[in-house]
Amino acid sequence: MKKLSILTLAFLWLGLAGLVTPGCDKSRKDDDQKKAAAEKNQPVKAADTVKAPVADPGAKPADPGAKPAEPAPATPVTIPEAKIVVENAGEGDKVALRYEYTAGVVTTAVMEMKMGMQISMGAMQQPMVNLPMMKMAMKLTNREVKTSGNLVYDFILDSVDVVPEADTPPQMVDSMRTALKDILGMNGNAEVTPRGITTSADMRMPANTNPQLASMMDSMKQQMSQMSVPLPEEPVGQGASWTVTTQVTTGGMLVTNQYKYTLSKIEGKVVEMKVSLLQTAEPQELKNPQLPPGVTLKLQEFKSSGNGTVKMDLTKMVPISEISSETNMKMSVEKGAETQNMEQKMTLSLKLYPEQK
């Protein structure tokens, strides 16, 4: 059986990597539904600030006789419904944590992702491969604050890069840079409540985006359109903890996520939290467009756990967060009558922060 390339598996894992960013999800709470219903007839339109990035001056000129590519239509982002449960209301004075948005503010959110991966197939065990850091910058524009306090904002992926280390093979860097350039200019808009709960989002991909990046983009759509941390409805104090549980499909896999937030510090509008995560999946067949034709992946076991920190100013959109996780996954790889067992271990570190100017 022809083995899957490291890069192909890397992008398969990147699709799964989007699961570990602490993001906000759609809640079933009645108060948020009422607020959204009151303004559901107000359409979300693309802002004038959402523009394509400046073309690379070193790029080859376009063929004047070629037909221009059709712009990709906006597609709604699937927002998983979440269950938010306060396990401990904390001590001392209690406060209802809420974001306070301001229209017209422009912020650049920077995400740094670094991943290590080890693959065992049958009796063959590959050494740990450490991929170079991927760095992406997303421009966020606060377009409108509604009477309910909901924020409508626009976003566009302004830059992507691969930051190699001294021992990183140049071929790996070139391949990853080429693939990531396909998503430059991805843009859209979203609406988020004062509790950090995204109620709607749309995404537009650049024309002719490589379909092999589909699973990675599914995850990025959820990450980059859901910047804020989901906050509990009831007032909480120092030491409070709450759990956010969701089910999402990413990289072709249905996964149950549990994020536990513990409030470690409150100073005015600045909140600091610890976050832990646990992710599990039942045995299932993985549907992923990155797989070679005729190859079937069946999940046997999946578990991921990690922890990190979040510091956020409730008057701003983008937090400062760091999280590290370790994922173990067992699969069977089938092609025709041949079957091989595969085990994968992934370490992942993610940083998200507002760019300082």
Range of the domain at 225: 6-40+74-354
pLDDT score of 212:
57
Q: Which segment of 126-130, 251-255, 294-298 scores lowest on mean pLDDT?
A: 251-255
74-90: pLDDT as tens digits: 666 667 677 899 999 99
- In this structure, which amino acid lies at residue 188? G
Number of domains in the chain: 1
pLDDT score of 137:
93
User: Is the pLDDT assigned to residue 239 strictly greater than 70?
Assistant: yes
pLDDT score of 138:
92
CA distance 132 to 339: 31
CA distance 299 to 78: 23
User: How many Å is the Cα radius of gyration of the chain?
Assistant: 21
Asked whether residue 51 is domain-assigned, the answer is no
CATH of the domain at 253: 2.30.230
CA distance 215 to 355: 27
pLDDT score of 247:
85
CA distance 305 to 120: 20
Asked whether residue 59 is domain-assigned, the answer is no
The two three-digit tokens of residue 178, written as one number: 């080429």
Tokens 């063929």 correspond to: 63
Asked whether residue 169 is domain-assigned, the answer is yes
337-351: pLDDT as tens digits: 889 898 999 999 999
Asked whether residue 217 is domain-assigned, the answer is yes
Residue 7 pLDDT class (50, 70, 90 cuts): very low
The two three-digit tokens of residue 353, written as one number: 């922060």
- Residue 197: which of 97, 125, 296 has the closest Cα? 97
Asked whether residue 111 is domain-assigned, the answer is yes
CA distance 59 to 160: 16
Asked whether residue 68 is domain-assigned, the answer is no
Asked whether residue 222 is domain-assigned, the answer is yes
Sign of CA dihedral 227, 233, 235, 239: negative
The two three-digit tokens of residue 57, written as one number: 């001056």
Residue 54 pLDDT class (50, 70, 90 cuts): very low
Whole-structure pTM value: 0.77
Asked whether residue 65 is domain-assigned, the answer is no
CA distance 85 to 271: 19
257-286: pLDDT as tens digits: 899 999 999 999 999 999 999 999 999 998
CA distance 74 to 79: 15
231: DSSP letter: -
